[in-house]
């Protein structure tokens, strides 16, 4: 039986340089399998927010399909696919979850769009639940404002239609894998967010 190599420390401040090098090496296959875990977790969206004409899983596929049909770039399409992935574990702040899962792999504007999509989506129904549908107007000067209006207006809020020809997850899987294969950036990685966006708004 193969025994798993382990680090020597029982508290982090006592770990050696060799320990942390070993830890990183052992973690590699796990890190590389992130897209597999994302795809597996997507299945939870079948059981999220009941009562729609289609479930959140189908809604996510349809949002991505609509974005692709309109000619959006791959990063945008993958963002559309994952925009509601937080619905299952964080129904009150789901937008933050999807945004932060993708954050190390996408531009600041794509991250911003995902993070704020709930407020922008509010424009299409908040007046019916006693809230201010114009809440998004306070972001009017943000460089990703138009992009987020486009995302919610043309794709997200439209994607509850059982009749729309929606492509399956297998179609989007290679795109998702390409985005997660990018060199990540952010506080927990070796690269910081660049000043200039990788992809524009
Ligand atoms: Fe959402
Ligand atoms: Fe959505």
SS3 assignment for 112-154: HHHHHHHHHHHHHCHHHHCCCCCHHHHHCCCCCHHHHHHHHHH
Query: Could you tell me the pLDDT band of residue 191, with boundaries at 50, 70 and 90?
Result: confident
Query: Which CATH number goes with the domain that contains 96?
Result: 1.10.3210.10
- Ligand 2 centroid–CA 74 distance in Å is 18
pTM, full prediction:
0.92
Q: What is the mean pLDDT of residues 154-166?
A: 98
Query: Do 197 and 71 touch, CB atoms closer than 8 A?
Result: no
Q: Distance from the CA of 173 to the center of ligand 2, in angstroms?
A: 19
CA of residue 95 to ligand 1 center, whole Å: 6
Could you report the per-residue pLDDT of 24-67, keeping only the tens digit for each?
999 999 999 999 999 999 999 999 999 999 999 999 999 999 99
Statement: residue 111 has pLDDT above 50: yes
How many whole angstroms separate alpha carbon 105 and alpha carbon 188? Answer: 12
* 90 in any annotated domain: yes
Q: What range defines the domain where residue 46 resides?
A: 34-180
Compute the distance from residue 50 Cα to the ligand 2 centre, in Å.
14
Nearest bound ligand to the CA of residue 58? 2
More confident residue, 99 or 183: 99
Q: Is residue 53 part of a domain?
A: yes
Within a domain: residue 196?
no
Calpha distance 83→85 (Å, rounded): 6
63 alpha carbon, closest ligand: 2
Report the alpha-carbon distance of residue 130 to residue 168 in Å, rounded: 36
Residue 173 lies in a domain: yes
> Taking 90 as the threshold, does the pLDDT of residue 183 lie above it?
no
Q: Which helix (H) or strand (E) holds 21?
A: helix 17-32
Given a cut of 90, whether residue 161 has pLDDT beyond it is yes
Assigned domain for 8 exists: no
Kindly give the distance from the C-alpha atom of residue 84 to the centroid of ligand 1, in angstroms, as a whole number: 5
**Ligand having the closest approach to the CA of 98:** 1
Ligand nearest to the CA of 80: 2
15 found inside a domain:
no
How many separate domains does the chain show?
1
Ligand 2 center–CA 36 separation, angstroms: 22
């Amino acid at each position: 039986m193969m025994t798993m190599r382990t680090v020597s420390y029982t508290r982090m401040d006592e770990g050696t340089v060799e320990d942390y090098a070993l830890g990183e090496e052992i973690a590699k296959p796990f890190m590389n399998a992130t897209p597999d875990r994302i795809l597996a977790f997507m299945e939870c969206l079948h059981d999220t927010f009941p009562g729609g004409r289609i479930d959140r899983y189908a809604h996510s596929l349809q949002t991505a399909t609509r974005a692709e049909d309109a000619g959006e770039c791959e990063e945008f399409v993958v963002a559309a696919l994952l925009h509601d992935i937080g619905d299952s574990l964080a129904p009150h702040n789901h937008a933050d979850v999807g945004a932060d899962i993708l954050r190390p792999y996408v531009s600041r504007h794509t991250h911003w769009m995902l993070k704020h999509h709930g407020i922008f989506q509010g424009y299409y129904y908040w007046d019916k639940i006693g809230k201010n549908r114009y809440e998004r107007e306070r972001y009017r000067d943000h460089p990703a404002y138009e992009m987020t209006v486009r995302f919610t207006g043309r794709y997200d809020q439209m994607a509850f239609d059982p009749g729309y020809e929606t492509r399956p997850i297998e179609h989007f899987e290679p795109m998702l894998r390409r985005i997660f294969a990018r060199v990540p950036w952010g506080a927990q990685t070796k690269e910081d967010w660049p000043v200039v966006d990788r992809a524009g708004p």
